[in-house]
């Protein structure tokens, strides 16, 4: 039997580079990105079951009621959520499933799935954070300052996560997250059956 995968939640303040890190991590054959369900209409290049699971509002609401979502939220009149079935299927295949979500969603998932491993990705320092936010080149100074303030507020959630990964370089951050997952797989509560296995082998 294949060992069950780890449900890995990756959050972090704006500018932490979580999108890039998650993108790299998901290239590894042992990792799968979760796919969100949404009531938003598909854009021309988006496919159902690949980019999102597109749902009607009524269907989404019934998923909420039937506890079929690990977390959900509503932005701009559209619902977004993480389908439990899809995640559990991948975990049972032995894949580690990555959820890149905001802090609010994180604690919803942790409540429904206490074995989830919570990783908080942070930029190495404020200078780097600023340069990443400026580097996008799409925002004015005021917007950037607002984002920095927001990022610092988000940092307050750090103690509620299991691990903090400092994203100095993408490759290093990916390696560090993989070490976390490897270590988590060795947690003793995942190996309680070993005692019985050994006794049975005598």
**Which residues in this chain contact its own copies in the complex, by CB under 8 A?**
120, 122, 125-127, 129, 148, 152, 155-156, 158-165, 176, 179-180, 182-184, 186-192, 194-195, 197-199, 201-202
CA separation for the pair 21, 51 (Å, rounded): 18
Largest CA distance in the chain: 70
Q: Choose between 62 and 143: whose C-beta lies nearer to its own copies.
A: 143
Q: Which among 103, 101, 99 has a CA at the least distance from the CA of 157?
A: 103
Q: CB 111 → its own copies: shortest distance, Å?
A: 18
Task: Write down the least CB distance from residue 110 to its own copies, Å.
Answer: 13
> CA 55, CA 58: separation in Å to the nearest integer?
8
Minimal distance in Å, beta carbon 179 to its own copies?
4
Cα–Cα distance, 158 to 164 (Å, whole number):
7
Closest approach of its own copies to the CB of residue 171, in Å: 15
Please say which residue, 74 or 194, places its beta carbon nearer to its own copies: 194
The one-character DSSP state at 192 is T
């Amino acid at each position: 039997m294949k060992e069950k995968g780890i449900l890995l939640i990756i959050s972090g303040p704006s500018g932490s580079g979580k999108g890039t890190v998650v993108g790299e991590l998901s290239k590894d054959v042992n990792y799968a990105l979760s796919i969100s369900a949404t009531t938003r209409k598909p854009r021309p290049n988006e496919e159902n079951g690949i980019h999102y699971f597109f749902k009607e509002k009524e269907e989404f609401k019934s998923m909420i009621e039937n506890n079929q979502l690990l977390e959900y939220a509503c932005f701009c009149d559209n619902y977004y959520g993480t389908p439990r079935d899809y995640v559990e299927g991948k975990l049972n295949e032995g894949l580690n499933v990555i959820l890149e979500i905001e802090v609010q969603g994180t604690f919803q998932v942790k409540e429904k799935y206490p074995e989830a491993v919570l990783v908080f990705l942070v930029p190495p320092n404020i200078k780097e954070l600023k340069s990443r936010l400026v580097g996008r080149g799409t925002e004015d100074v005021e917007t950037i300052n607002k984002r920095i303030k927001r990022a610092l507020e988000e940092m307050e959630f750090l103690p509620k996560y299991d691990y903090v990964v400092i994203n100095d370089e993408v490759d290093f951050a990916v390696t560090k997250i993989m070490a976390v997952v490897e270590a988590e797989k060795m947690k003793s509560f995942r190996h309680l059956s070993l005692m019985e296995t050994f006794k049975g082998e005598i």
